Amino acid sequence: MQTVRQLLENKAIRELISVGPEMTVFQALQVMAERDVGAILVMEMGDVVGIFPSATMHGASYCWGAPRPAPRCATS
């Protein structure tokens, strides 16, 4: 089984991918889809304030186009 280090070494993207808490859920999901990641850090003023995994949205029943603030799914 691979270690986390080995997995990260094989990733093409070597930059921190994050969104701000003011972004909508739809915008955060768009960034994740564009970057092919399953979760994204929520950062505010240089600090990690949460993580938004795409799994949070499984089973969600709302209009994808409706602007909603990104939730703080997990906080540090």
pLDDT given for residue 57 in this prediction: 65
d(CA 74, CA 24): 16
Please tell me what DSSP assigns to residue 62: S
pLDDT given for residue 36 in this prediction: 82
Q: Looking at the whole model, is its pTM more than 0.75?
A: no
Which domains are delineated in the chain? Answer: 15-76 (3.10.580.10)
pLDDT given for residue 58 in this prediction: 55
d(CA 39, CA 37): 6
pLDDT given for residue 20 in this prediction: 94
Give average pLDDT by consecutive 10-residue segment, the chain, 76 residues.
Answer: 81 81 90 88 93 71 48 49
Query: What backbone phi and psi angles, to 5 degrees, belong to 4?
Result: -60, -40
pLDDT given for residue 21 in this prediction: 92
